Amino acid sequence: MLANPEIAIAYSDVQWFGSRFERDVMDSIVGTAQQRVFRHIERIGYEPLRGLMRASYLPLGEAIPISENQSCQEEFVFLAEMIARGAFHRVTNTMYFKRGHLQNTYSRWFSWSDSRRRLGWLNMGLGFLRVARQVYPESEWLRRLVVAIIDRLTIFRPGRGFF
């Protein structure tokens, strides 16, 4: 991160163990702020949460608000705010080990009611829109991002998480 001051987060692949055994990989996200936010919304990757974050790029105020839904999906809005400020850089020569267990928020998400998960999903979309309005002042970019948010929230596509 010292070599490149434009990096907001440096992170590695995540190797799960415990109740699940798989490796999650997310490529670096670089480019203009508009390109980075667009790509993050399309991908919605959690891997940067397990990385080193540049303190000067952290959002002001409560980064991930605490809610009755255990801040459901708010971490992805936090990452949208971070990527609007700087790139996400994947470090390939290291690994983050994450234990999967039935009590973590990720596992509990699947036991929640559809209405509770839908509320989290919609709030995430509204958070993305809030970030987009800051990053995309031009109406054409903003229109493209609104379409991308709607697509992301409503259309299943292989290779990306969906509710």
Please answer whether residues 8 and 82 qualify as being in contact, where contact means their C-beta atoms are separated by less than 8 angstroms: yes
User: Exposed, middle or buried by CB within 10 Å (0-12, 13-18, 19+), for 62?
Assistant: exposed
Please answer whether residues 50 and 91 qualify as being in contact, where contact means their C-beta atoms are separated by less than 8 angstroms: no
- Summarised one tens digit per residue, pLDDT across range 68-79 is 655 678 889 999
Residue 96: how many other CB atoms lie within 10 Å: 16
Percent of the chain with pLDDT over 70: 92
Percent of the chain with pLDDT over 90: 39
Residue 137 has pLDDT above 70, yes or no: yes
- Summarised one tens digit per residue, pLDDT across range 18-68 is 888 999 999 999 999 989 998 999 888 999 999 999 999 998 876 676 666
- Rounded to whole angstroms, the Cα distance separating 33 from 104 reads 32
Q: Domain spans of the chain?
A: 7-154
End-to-end CA distance of the chain: 34
Instruction: State the pTM of this model.
Output: 0.87
